């Protein structure tokens, strides 16, 4: 047997294995529902962030402004109305 014959046989066997693996992958649905659920959750999260982007941005800017401010414009004691 020459090299080409051995290569052809090896490729034919390998292609048959890939074909069987693909057939098994598409008939076996154990992990498909988990993948679909994960993609849907990620899509919903991205859509919610996009829908509320303006409010989230304002809230984060306000929060970071309070954190990094010098304290001059902040209410020192919120319990007594800022006095």
CA-based nearest residue to 19, from 8, 27, 7, 29 = 27
- Crossing angle (nearest 10°) for helices 32-51 and 53-68: 70
Q: For the chain, what are the domain ranges? A: 1-30, 31-71
pLDDT in tens, the chain (83 residues): 688 888 889 999 999 999 998 888 777 766 667 888 899 999 999 999 999 999 989 999 999 998 888 655 555 555 655 55
Is the pTM value of this prediction over 0.75? no
């Amino acid at each position: 047997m020459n090299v080409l014959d051995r290569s052809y046989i090896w490729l034919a066997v390998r292609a048959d294995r890939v074909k069987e693996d693909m057939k098994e992958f598409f008939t076996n649905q154990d992990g498909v529902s988990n993948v679909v659920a994960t993609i849907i959750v990620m899509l919903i999260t991205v859509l919610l962030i996009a829908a509320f982007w303006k409010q989230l941005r304002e809230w984060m800017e306000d929060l970071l402004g309070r954190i990094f401010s010098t304290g001059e414009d902040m209410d020192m004691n919120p319990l007594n109305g800022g006095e």
